Chain A
């Protein structure tokens, strides 16, 4: 049951992250935030440093990390979202590397240890299942409600307009930069939130989950699955979390002492290629 708890928690956490990256940033703007994993790392870093070094309550630390993430993403958006898509990619990649390196420099490659999980109105969340039900599920449900609500707003229409055609948006007097920054902040909010929650769940931080390669993989999966629907986001989270574990179980199951992990990677790569070649979900990016 511990394993199941761990897998479900990962699915929920990556659901929030992929919702932020896929549904918002990629679905409602043309910002290519390849290094979006940086905000996941940032959330963990802030939560870890506040709770371990300063002894702040975990909920407050989570709030602070989310606010910090929004501020950072606002500043980055302000400075860079006027740029062409590929320039932003460079900025995003360098940001993700920078945050990872800062995290390692600040607390060593192992990250923080010994973050104390918060209580939920007096209920201790030390048990994994309690944590999932009382701390993760409310955030996931909130994510779903916010996302569904936004679909109804006029704002959503403006986001789509800006994504599709910036010239037209300018003709209609909407400044594309403002809306891009707004959507980038929303996406970063979810990424920081999931990163912070992750560090609470594992009672520490883990810089090795924020490498560029992980980030690129998450970007790819968000892109493939999460663009139009929340169902897609769920599918993406399952693809990222459950698929490697299922492959692992199937390949190791029949008592085989050895096999190479490269087979899993190979199967994963081939699956990705087939999906890309067959799917038409990937949106047409317009210059």
Chain B
């Protein structure tokens, strides 16, 4: 039972990252190694605002960090991904890898590799005789609302419709006058802001290091794939399940094997099932 609850807390942060990842993945369909680095950049921006610039309120600096990280995400998209958009998914994968290398080394150069401490507080709260960090609770409460917001806005708003149109066929969407560039920028902004929030939560836990994000981009990718293309419900459930899986792997296996085993489990599920869950059916021809 304990493991289940702990798994949910871990899973909710994975789902948080995976939402942004899946949003970009469903539009451009490329494996984005840079997303993990956005997490790291977001956390460092928050650190910079809070400590170096000395913004007095932590929440204010979180808010500004989210805005700035969103901008950074949009900027990266303009530099590294936009010129490749009508090339192939593979070249976007390559440039995301290059971006990841650059961001990591920049962070190491500027902030050094030893952990930076984001906050000197990390309050806990006791719910039903179990102790949680407040940030865990916040993430767990925000998550369902976020999922619902995503679901509703994808289904019923103009932007959601445009995103779905681009996801199903970019060229045709451009042809009927959907402002592709704006929409993609908006989704990069949203994804990067979410990643920043996740990065802050991770940073409050264990300090900031330049390599803190790489793992999460792999996990988010696994969750996005197993969820199926363009399904936000799938991402939510997949992220939570992945957290639980990871938790059990550490409890009954070992730390070394946990990452590999949970990935292998995902791969096996895909092998047996042959496709993602919650996949939206697209017409093939």
Which A residues contact B (CB, under 8 angstroms)? Answer: 32, 34, 79-80, 82-84, 86-87, 89-91, 93-95, 97-98, 100-101, 104-105, 212-213, 216-217, 220, 223-224, 260, 262-263, 265-266, 268-270, 272-273, 276-277, 280, 282-285
Q: A265-B105, A266-B109 are contacts. A105–B263 as well, Cβ < 8 Å?
A: no
From B11-19, B156-164, B180-188, B218-226, the one touching the partner chain is B218-226
From B49-57, B192-200, B270-278, the one touching the partner chain is B270-278
Q: Which residues of B contact A98 (CB under 8 A)?
A: 260, 263-264
Residue of B nearest to A109 (CB): B256
Is the pair B225, A90 in contact by a Cβ cutoff of 8 Å?
Answer: yes
Residue of A nearest to B99 (CB): A273
Q: A94-B264, A220-B94 are contacts. A266–B102 as well, Cβ < 8 Å?
A: yes
B88 interface residue (CB < 8 Å to A): yes
How many Å from the CB of A95 to the closest CB on chain B? 8
Bound complex: CA A105 to CA B283 (Å): 46
Q: Which of A263, A273, A284 has the most CB of B within 10 A?
A: A273
How many Å from the CB of B167 to the closest CB on chain A? 13
Bound complex: CA A10 to CA B99 (Å): 26
Residue of B nearest to A97 (CB): B260
Choose from A80, A224, A262, A282 the contact partner of B88 (Cβ within 8 Å). Answer: A282
Bound complex: CA A277 to CA B95 (Å): 8
Is the pair A83, B271 in contact by a Cβ cutoff of 8 Å?
Answer: yes
Residue of A nearest to B101 (CB): A269
B205 interface residue (CB < 8 Å to A): no
Bound complex: CA A84 to CA B225 (Å): 10
Bound complex: CA A282 to CA B98 (Å): 15
Bound complex: CA A97 to CA B218 (Å): 12
Is the pair B101, A223 in contact by a Cβ cutoff of 8 Å?
Answer: no
Residue of A nearest to B95 (CB): A276
Is the pair A276, B91 in contact by a Cβ cutoff of 8 Å?
Answer: yes
B266 interface residue (CB < 8 Å to A): yes
Q: Which residues of B contact A217 (CB under 8 A)?
A: 97
Is the pair B101, A83 in contact by a Cβ cutoff of 8 Å?
Answer: no
Is the pair B263, A94 in contact by a Cβ cutoff of 8 Å?
Answer: yes
Q: A217-B97, A220-B97, A276-B95 are contacts. A84–B264 as well, Cβ < 8 Å?
A: no
Q: Which residues of B contact A89 (CB under 8 A)?
A: 31, 221, 225
